[in-house]
């Protein structure tokens, strides 16, 4: 199954009220595990590489090309997405490498500046056939969509989409990045209102902090693309710790990284079942 356009995964899912798992890649093992989990579940998936992960590796190309290779060898549809890019130059590099979508994050800017910057990125990406996600939350809040208590205004969201031409919109409905507990309370009524007001698929960021039942409910109320990163890192790290604790003289990195990869594979397959087990 070749690498596919992100829109070819997300847009049909939005029409059929199904969730799409979008999982972040830091090491090669993440990409391998995410695709293996998707293959086990028989579901399409989105691999994501964030600007922070690019900073960790020192460049986009090495981890980006590795993820592209994993995606192209998959038995299920896989898209590759640049996550939370604040640099237009990084967006251009991702497009040149062959990423199928980007998330341009200008949410820390005031509304008008966010619109201008996002619209410029959308125009360039659409010229290359690349799908664009953006973010809208607390206007002018330096923490953007994930500022404490931030909520996206439906009317403003609709106007933002119309003004920028984005293909999907990340909205503030109660989740937060980097949560280590899964007890975030989503505003399901607001998700439903946003779904009715915004003509493009909705994206939930900070989904690691959301319990299974609430993830399913969010999809039922109109959320489509569900981003998960921290939760998988917890799963990976727990498996590595358990492996090392059990064998104090273990030095073969393949053994403990392999344990982490296997655990993430299991969890991705399980989460994709959670996101797709929705009754329209």
pLDDT at 151: 82
- Say if CB 230 and CB 251 are below 8 A apart: no
151 CB-side CA count, 13 A: 14
pLDDT at 148: 55
* φ and ψ at residue 63, rounded to 5 degrees: -75, -30
**Coil/strand/helix, residue 108:** coil
Alpha carbons 25 and 54: distance in angstroms, whole number:
10
For residue 144, pLDDT over 80 is answered with no
Q: Specify which residues 271 forms β-bridges with.
A: none
Residue of 83, 105, 153, 195 with catalytic role: 83
Query: Look-up: residue for tokens 């900070």?
Result: 206
Selected residue with higher pLDDT from 190 and 209: 190
For residue 272, pLDDT over 70 is answered with yes
For residue 259, pLDDT over 80 is answered with yes
pLDDT at 139: 30
First and final C-alpha spacing in the chain: 28
Listed by start position, the domains of the chain span 6-232+268-276
Nearest 10 degrees: CA dihedral of 4, 9, 12, 17?
170
pLDDT tens, 23-69?
999 999 999 999 999 999 999 999 999 999 999 999 999 999 999 99
Average pLDDT for the chain: 90
pLDDT at 220: 94
Question: Would you state the structure tokens that stand for residue 126, as one six-digit string?
Answer: 């659409």
pLDDT at 178: 60
Alpha carbons 35 and 124: distance in angstroms, whole number:
29
Identify whether 83 is a catalytic site residue.
Answer: yes
- Counting Cβ atoms within 10 Å, is residue 199 exposed (0-12), middle (13-18) or buried (19+)? exposed
Selected residue with higher pLDDT from 138 and 139: 138
pLDDT at 207: 80
Range in 162-171, 182-191, 257-266 with the lowest mean pLDDT: 182-191
CATH superfamily of this structure's domain 6-232+268-276:
Aldolase class I (3.20.20.70)
- Say if CB 10 and CB 34 are below 8 A apart: no
pLDDT tens, 86-131?
999 999 999 999 999 999 988 778 889 999 999 999 999 999 999 9
Model pTM greater than 0.85?
yes
pLDDT at 280: 42
**Coil/strand/helix, residue 104:** strand
pLDDT at 150: 76
Helix, strand, coil tally for the chain in percent (to 5): 55, 15, 30
Give the percent of the chain with pLDDT over 70.
Answer: 89
Separation in Å, CA 76 to CA 24, 35, 132, 145: 17, 8, 22, 32
Alpha carbons 115 and 54: distance in angstroms, whole number:
25
Range in 21-25, 134-138, 203-207, 271-275 with the lowest mean pLDDT: 134-138
pLDDT at 149: 62
- Say if CB 179 and CB 211 are below 8 A apart: no
Alpha carbons 94 and 96: distance in angstroms, whole number:
5
Q: Is the dihedral of CA 29, 177, 159, 216 positive or negative?
A: positive
Band the pLDDT of 175: cuts 50, 70, 90. low
Query: Look-up: residue for tokens 């039922």?
Result: 220
pLDDT at 140: 30
Alpha carbons 182 and 170: distance in angstroms, whole number:
19
Separation in Å, CA 217 to CA 141, 224, 232, 243, 271: 28, 11, 21, 35, 14
For residue 19, pLDDT over 60 is answered with yes
């Amino acid at each position: 199954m070749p690498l596919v356009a992100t829109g070819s995964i997300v847009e049909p899912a939005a029409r059929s009220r199904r969730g799409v798992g979008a999982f972040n890649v830091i090491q090669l093992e993440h990409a391998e595990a995410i695709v293996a989990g998707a293959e086990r579940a028989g579901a399409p998936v989105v691999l994501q590489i964030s600007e922070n992960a690019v900073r960790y590796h020192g460049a986009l190309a090495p981890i980006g090309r590795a993820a592209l290779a994993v995606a192209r060898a998959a038995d299920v549809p896989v898209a590759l997405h640049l996550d939370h890019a604040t640099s237009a130059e990084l967006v251009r590099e991702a497009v040149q490498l062959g990423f199928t979508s980007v998330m341009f994050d200008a949410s820390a800017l005031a509304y008008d500046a966010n619109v201008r910057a996002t619209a410029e990125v959308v125009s360039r990406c659409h010229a290359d056939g690349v799908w664009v996600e953006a973010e809208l939350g607390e206007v002018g809040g330096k923490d953007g969509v994930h500022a404490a208590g931030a909520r996206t205004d439906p009317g403003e969201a609709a106007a933002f989409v119309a003004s920028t031409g984005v293909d999907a919109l990340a909205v503030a409905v109660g989740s937060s990045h980097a949560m280590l507990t899964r007890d975030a309370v989503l505003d399901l009524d607001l998700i439903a209102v946003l779904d009715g007001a915004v003509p493009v698929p909705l994206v939930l960021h900070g989904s690691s902090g959301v319990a299974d039942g609430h993830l399913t409910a969010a999809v039922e109320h109109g959320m489509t693309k569900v981003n998960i990163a921290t939760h998988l890192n917890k799963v990976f790290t727990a498996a590595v710790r358990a492996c090392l604790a059990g064998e104090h003289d273990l030095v073969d990195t393949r053994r403990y990284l392999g344990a982490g990869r296997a655990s993430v594979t299991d969890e991705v397959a399980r989460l994709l079942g959670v996101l797709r087990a929705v009754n329209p």
